[in-house]
Amino acid sequence: MRGLFVIATASIALAAPRDRACAQRQNVVTSPREQFGFAIGDDYKLATYTQFERYVRTLASQSNRMQLVDIGRTAEGRTQLMAIISSPANLAKLARYKEISRRLATASGLAEADARALAQEGKAIVWIDGGLHATEVLGAAQLTETIYELVSRNDRETLRFLDDCIILAVHANPDGMELVSNWYMGERDTLKRNTNIPRLYQKYVGHDNNRDFYMSNQPESRNINHQLYWEWFPQIVYNHHQTGPAGTVMFAPPFRDPFNYNYDPLVVMELDQVGAAMHARFESEGKPGVTMRSGSSYSTWWNGGLRTTPYFHNMVGLLTETIGSPTPTKIPFVPDQQLPRADLPFPIAPQPWHFRQSVEYSLTANRAVLDIASRNRETFLFNAWRMGRNSIERGSRDSWTTTP
């Protein structure tokens, strides 16, 4: 009888991981092609926000890896949506993991031993957005494909991401996607399609919506800032943009010197660490043409944007600038971009370029970010507390300055 009990107990123990894996794998969901009639990244094709909203609602109804949250209304009255993606087990304890992230980020009244225990228990919170600048149509496209991949793929790496991370996938400008996609698809002659819409793609500020994140004048900025700084306190905030420097495919961190010394040094160190992981993954996947630092003018000194305001909240803010359009283009010949150097270690040759290739590069970048967040989950969480404590200590000291 005792032997039977031991065998039964062992069988239950062995079955538990299988049951968890099976629970994650029970995800037969609608593909973008089935939903839209075309694949994300197909030439001359863009989905509208109305179509995007319908699709993510469908995915949320089909998948146990995803919850959909209404984070507020846009300037034109649309619903701005955030997809929360993780393992079913994590989603069942979402309130607990959100509270852990908040306590570590705010740091007040939390001893180091308690912070370490919370970091060990918690999950890395990773924000990935798209569509902020609506004519930079890759942002919304990669967001759609990323959500689909995370709720449908069953490879070991994806399941690890879902176990270790909570991904906040957020559309940053629903009104703009609706306007630009309707404008682009409204031209019957595919060869004449373009994104040069003759009006602001955000009702009041257009492209300057990315100058509003320290002011929160626009409803979309308020919706996003509320999630970032009142609800979730993510450790990593990834803001997708276009376009890449001529003769390359993408600019990705690290950013050029000098860095903004007003931030905690850990922000800069973690930013460079994540950037290095992105570049390493591009090279390991044989994707050339990604530059960094001196490859463009981007730095950590512009303080009003969606990826830079998080630095003041001790979060890793990521920016990528990527080429690509549903109308096929070409990578031009730029002599300076043909010889490898420290900030462009893997140059790309001049060639025709299709939108799907840009989507694939964005997916690689997203997975690189999720990979390092997964592998270093506990460190990112604990460092959020450490930077919070550093901020409290600096703010508690007398200081003198020669400027106001």
Question: For the segment 36-51, what is each residue's pLDDT rounded down to a tens digit?
Answer: 999 999 999 999 999 9
Per-residue pLDDT at 166 exceeds 70: yes
Task: Find tokens 């863009």 and name the residue.
Answer: 46
Q: Look at residue 235 in the predicted model and tell me its pLDDT.
A: 99
Per-residue pLDDT at 364 exceeds 80: yes
pTM of the model: 0.93
Could you tell me which of 145, 144, 154 has the C-alpha nearest to residue 28? 154
Considering only residues 4 and 196, tell me which one the structure prediction assigns the higher pLDDT.
196
Q: Look at 16-20, 36-40, 246-250 and tell me which has the smallest mean pLDDT.
A: 16-20
Q: How confident is the model at residue 7 (pLDDT cuts 50, 70, 90)?
A: very low
| Beta bridge mates, 72 | 80
- What number is the average pLDDT over the span 296-300? 97
For 24-63, b/e burial (b = at least 16 CB within 10 A) is beebebbebeebbeeebbbebbbbbbebbbebbeebbeeb
Give me the residue spans of the domains in the chain.
Answer: 30-391
Could you tell me which of 341, 329, 140 has the C-alpha nearest to residue 240? 140
Residue 20 CB neighbours (<10 A): 15
- What number is the average pLDDT over the span 321-345? 98
Per-residue pLDDT at 20 exceeds 80: no
Query: Can you tell me the distance from the alpha carbon of 229 to that of 10, in angstroms, rounded to the nearest whole number?
Result: 45
Per-residue pLDDT at 154 exceeds 60: yes
Question: For the segment 48-68, what is each residue's pLDDT rounded down to a tens digit?
Answer: 999 999 999 999 999 999 999
Q: Which alpha helices (DSSP H) does 213-354 contain, by range?
A: 219-226, 265-284
Q: How confident is the model at residue 9 (pLDDT cuts 50, 70, 90)?
A: very low
Query: Can you tell me the distance from the alpha carbon of 82 to that of 67, in angstroms, rounded to the nearest whole number?
Result: 8
Question: For the segment 74-83, what is each residue's pLDDT rounded down to a tens digit?
Answer: 999 999 999 9
**Matching CATH number, 30-391, of 3.40.640.10, 3.50.50.60, 3.40.630.10, 3.40.50.300:** 3.40.630.10
